[in-house]
Each structure stands twice: as C-alpha cells, then as structure tokens.
Amino acid sequence: MSEFTQPNLRVLLSAEQIRVRIQELGRQITEEYAGKSLLLVGVLKGAIPFTADLLRAIDLPVQLDFIAVSSYGASTKSSGEVRILKDLDASLKGLHVLVVEDIVDTGLTLTYLLDNFRRREAESVRVAALLDKPERRIKEVAVDYVGFPIPNEFVVGYGLDYAERYRNLPYVAVLNPE
C-alpha cells in the first residue's frame, strides 16, 4: 500500500498549501532582512524539509547551519532541559540568525535555543516555525514567522514523525490510531 495514502492519515495541510505559505514567508523575510545577510539554523531532524524549502524562498545572501537537540534528556519534560546532540559548525557572533523549526509545541526547545544563541552574541535571533500549537505552550516564546497555527492534534509529515516514520509525507496529516 502507498505510504502517502494510508487510511489512518487525514490531510491537514496539503503540499500546495504548504508551498504557497512558504513562498509568502520567504517574501516577508526577504523584505524584512533587506540589505542584511542571514544565517538559517535548521533544528534537526523535523525541520529539514521546511528549512530546505524556506531557504530557496529567501532572495538574500543566506548561510545554512544545523543543530540537533534531544528533547528532554533524562529529566522531566517540564524542566525544559535540552541537550545538544550536534552543535552548530560555526560561530554566531555578529550574525542575524533565523532559527527554523517544524513545530513549536510546549515551547521548551525553542526557549532553550533562543537563550543559548543569544549568549553566543548573535546580532539578532528570530524564529520561523511551519506549525504552531499554541494550546500546548508551557513557556511563552515569540515565534516571529508562523506558517500555520494548528489545533492540538498529533500531526505527522513534511518532516514530522511518529516513531521516525512519516517524515517523508509531502503534506501534514493528523495521525489517527488504527
């Protein structure tokens, strides 16, 4: 059976909706950073497709880096403790940094990253997230560019996984138990 048309997947955002919205975000970012150069920092692994598409929608000099973090280490989720599994390749000093996330849920990961990046003396640090689940927020955190606010449902696809599966779906779907 096709992986892309499983009966337990209900399409929430089609590939076309995602494409159109990313073009809009790219134009907005291009205007707002006019005259500047930008470092996109993709947060592995979920942000890979969004980072790849957003990168190509920004008409400015852009550098690219990635960071990998473990969600919550050994501590409890609400502690907000995050561990860096793969750090950035280069210094952030003096750079305009745009953190690229697939989803902001509790906000704990992003809060940690923003604090960490600001301490590395970036000139500015902003955030682009394809999906935002505001109902789940534990830590208030400013998301500068949001693709789509979504309801509190379990979503997969376009980078988001369930047990490492479904990241390759070209759309975002709600995963219903079989």
Q: Give the residue numbers annotated as catalytic, written as ranges.
A: 105
For residue 59, the one-letter residue type is D
Query: What mask, x for binding ligand PRP by CB under 6 A, covers residues 113 to 152?
Result: ----------------------------------------
Please choose, out of 9-17, 37-45, 86-94, 142-150, the segment that lies near ligand PRP by the rule CB under 6 A: 37-45
| Binding status of residue 108 toward ligand PRP by CB under 6 A | yes
Q: 67: which residues sit within 8 A by CB, 6+ positions away? A: 41, 42, 43, 44, 84, 86, 87, 88, 113
Closest to ligand PRP by CB, 71 or 168:
71
Closer Cβ to ligand PRP, 53 or 102, answer by number: 102
- Smallest distance, ligand PRP to C-beta of residue 16, A: 23
- Cα(140)–Cα(62) distance, integer angstroms: 28
Structure tokens belonging to residue 83: 């561990």
- Closer by beta carbon to ligand PRP, 41 or else 43: 43
Nearest to 44 by CA among 78, 67, 63, 76: 67
45 contacts ligand PRP (rule: CB under 6 A): yes
Residue bearing tokens 């280490």: 73
- Distance of alpha carbon 101 from the chain centroid: 1
Q: Which residue has its beta carbon closest to ligand PRP?
A: 46
Among 102, 104, 92, residue whose Cα is nearest residue 44:
102
Query: Is the dihedral angle over the CA atoms 153, 159, 164, 169 positive or is it negative?
Result: positive
Positions in 85-104 near ligand PRP (CB under 6 A): 101-104
Give residues in contact with ligand PRP (CB under 6 A). 43-47, 71, 101-110, 161
